[in-house]
Structure 1
Amino acid sequence: MKLILSTSNIMSSGQPIVRRPLFSKSNIELINSLRSNFASFQHHSSSIASSQRLDYGQWSTQEDDSLYVPTWQPTPLSEPRDSYDVTVKLFFLPGVPSSRRCKHTREAIDLVLKELGIENIDLLIVSYPGVTFDADDEEDVSADEDESADSDESEGLDAQVRTWRVLESLHDQGVISQLGVSEFSSQRLSKFLPEVQVRPTVDQINVKDCCVVPKSLIMYAKENKIELLTHADCMDILPPGTTRELLGPGKDGAGILAANAEVRPEEPGLKGDIEPQWVVKYTAVVKNRGVIENKGYFALAQLGSCIEEKPVASA
């Protein structure tokens, strides 16, 4: 079963959202926004329920093999499409095979398009797992490579390029106007650019402790007409442990997953190992005012060997 998690529009949320501190790489905004949206739907559903903890079926929706958590309610943009700049950042997660990314890319983008009621995106930035940027290591090629099993480097440059081909196809179809990358040094860009047809127009990097962007990267980006932007996003934005805690039966959990992944009939909830697949962040800015009207996240997690044991209401 696929669990599709959504924050709704966090700019119009009635719940307080704790956002990440400046210059810290964090997933605080994502996790707190998800919890806030879950709580909002639970509170709404509780008006017709007893004081017992709600069955998740009362505030989520299942369609075929997908469970929308909470029930998905798109919030289309209020003004004409050309009034907005829409930016999307797609995070591919560690440990997930790159062979799945064609499907994952289309799933994520389709959700964003439906959520905002639009047909195209102005800029899509892709975040590859295991790719990190450190300004101090800009001149050191070896420091730019992460050979861990959870990174794209374990599969080589080919894995990144194959993923990029999917984005190029969507660019050719007019679904995405511009493409961007995240955490690419000048060395990484020099290897990547010759292999692609549609070049990235943006490189989004994390600049730690307000340090100066390396001159070598500034010069290379200028020569290749790439705009440098900064970010403070967490690389591993949704780890499996965090996902289980978020959806589990604990105090701050949504009560969707059982306490134990193994099948135990006495425990309510969905059983199985939870595996986050991707996260996508979207932002719609009103051009003439520079105001963010709509911002939010979707995430998809795969539940293996899913068996559902719903709570039994007491007499």
Structure 2
Amino acid sequence: MLDNLSPNVKNIYMHTGNILNLNEVKKKAGQNPTDELIESLKITLSKGDLKAVEEDSVKIQRLDDDTQTGITSEDRKGLKIGIKVFVSSPKKETLCEALETMFLALNVDFVDSLVLAYPSKAESTTLLPELQEMWTVLEDYTERQKLYTIGVSDIDTDIFVALHNWAKIKPSIIQINLASCCVVPPALQEFTKQNDIQLLTHSDPFGNYGEEREILPKSSLNSVFDFTGQGETTSLELSWALRFQVHVKCRGVLASKGYVVCIQRS
């Protein structure tokens, strides 16, 4: 599919659709999130349709995906949508693009919950200002009733407390990866209890721990996208990745799950 892609194309947007309908993924139940995402992207490339979005951007989506028409307003009433967005830089524009692309992909006006994952490679002294910069975006979307509850993932207790105290709209969710900290810090447990914050665990390989801790490492990008025929100078970077999960209210049944990603090419 990508053999004849114009060198002018710098952004590749991919929407895996509902991966619960993919037998190839279902047969490998128990995969870690990175392997699941890689498998889903490969299937999307093999069964997808490529369309130009702008002069320098293309969109790839599966032709056999039942979510292409989006979620109807009638169905939306009985559904709960949760989003986790993984961004690679603290730029407001990156986060806004991820959110707007998600709303279009799912054809919805709001989502029930969003968790932000940002692996700062900078010193801890710059992490809080970077998070605050992105948090203002989430606050704006919340004030416009496009997001209902917002939270963060994998930040130290002191930084989370500082973010909470600073924020106009407080984070009501924090996720931690037990693989990296083994035990929930007592101070974090106490703070979340006192402030009625959901303390959740996750298994996403994402955090400030090098490439092996990224949701879609650069080495994995090269295994999904083969541009060997277009010269060795092609470089790929993950701009952002977003996972959506749609549950049926009251019953708690997972009705749909998938990924939307943006790959930058140079």
TM class, shorter-chain normalised? 0.7 to 0.9
Structure 1 distance, partners of 2:138, 2:229, is: 37
Match of 2:106 in 1: 116
SS at match of 2:251: coil
Q: Once the two structures are superposed, what CA deviation does each residue of 1:127-171 show, in whole Å capped at 9, x if it has no partner?
A: 0114xxxxxxxxxxxxxxxxxxx3473734111101111111111
Note if contact 2:19-2:25 (Cα within 8 Å) is conserved in structure 1.
no
Match of 2:58 in 1: 67
Match of 1:51 in 2: none
Name 1:174's counterpart in structure 2.
145
Q: 1:36 aligns with which of 33, 43, 53?
A: 43
- Provide the secondary structure at the position in 2 that maps to 1:63: strand
Structure 1 residues 234 and 152 mapped into 2: Cα distance closer, same or farther (>3 Å)?
Answer: farther
- Pick closer, same or farther for the CA change 1:245–1:260 going to 2, 3 Å: farther
The one of 14, 18, 22 equivalent to 1:9 is 18
Gaps of 5+ in 2: 1-9, 207-213
Cα-to-partner distance string for 1:71-104 (whole Å, 9 max, x where unaligned): 67624236531211111001012xx4x2xx3222
1:221-232 aligned at under 5 Å gives the runs: 221-232=192-203
Question: What are the within-5 Å matches in structure 2 for residues 140-155 of structure 1?
Answer: 150-151=121-122, 153=124, 155=126
Q: What is the CA–CA distance in structure 2 between the aligned matches of 1:66 and 1:209, rounded to whole Å?
A: 36
CA distance in 2, matches of 1:209, 1:278: 22
Structure 1, unaligned runs of 5 or more: 42-58, 131-149, 249-255, 263-271, 305-315
Distance 1:276 1:112 in 2: 16
TM-score by structure 1 length? 0.70
Q: Residues 85 and 122 of structure 1 are in contact (CA less than 8 Å); yes or no, is this contact kept in structure 2?
A: yes
Q: Measure, in 2, the Cα distance between the counterparts of 1:71 and 1:261.
A: 28
Partners of 1:92 and 1:203 lie apart in 2 by 16
Judged with a 3 Å threshold, the aligned counterparts in structure 2 of structure 1 residues 165 and 274 are, in CA distance, closer, same or farther, namely: same
Q: Determine the C-alpha separation between the residues in 1 that align with 2:156 and 2:81.
A: 25
Compare CA radii of gyration and give the structure with the larger one.
1
Q: Which residue number corresponds to residue 183 of structure 1?
A: 154
1:129 equivalenced with 2:119 (yes/no): yes
**TM-score w.r.t. length of structure 2:** 0.82
Q: Using a 3 Å threshold, how does the CA distance of structure 1 residues 244 and 209 change in structure 2: closer, same or farther?
A: closer
Q: Which has the higher helix share?
A: 2
- 2:114 alignment partner, SS class: strand
How far did residue 192 of structure 1 move?
A: 1.5
Q: What is the deviation of 1:261?
A: 3.0
Distance of aligned partners of 1:6 and 1:260 in 2 relative to their CA distance in 1, 3 Å threshold: same
Partner in structure 2 of residue 239 of structure 1: 217
Cα distance, 1:259 vs. partner? 5.8
Aligned AA (2:164): L
CA 257–280 in structure 1, closer or farther in 2 if over 3 Å, else same? farther
Distance 2:219 2:86 in 1: 17
Q: Distance in 2 between matches of 1:156 and 1:116?
A: 31
Q: Alignment identity in percent?
A: 25
Q: Does 1:76 align with 2:67?
A: no
SS of the residue 1:171 aligns to: helix
Find the aligned partners of 1:184 and 1:161 in 2 and give their Cα distance.
13
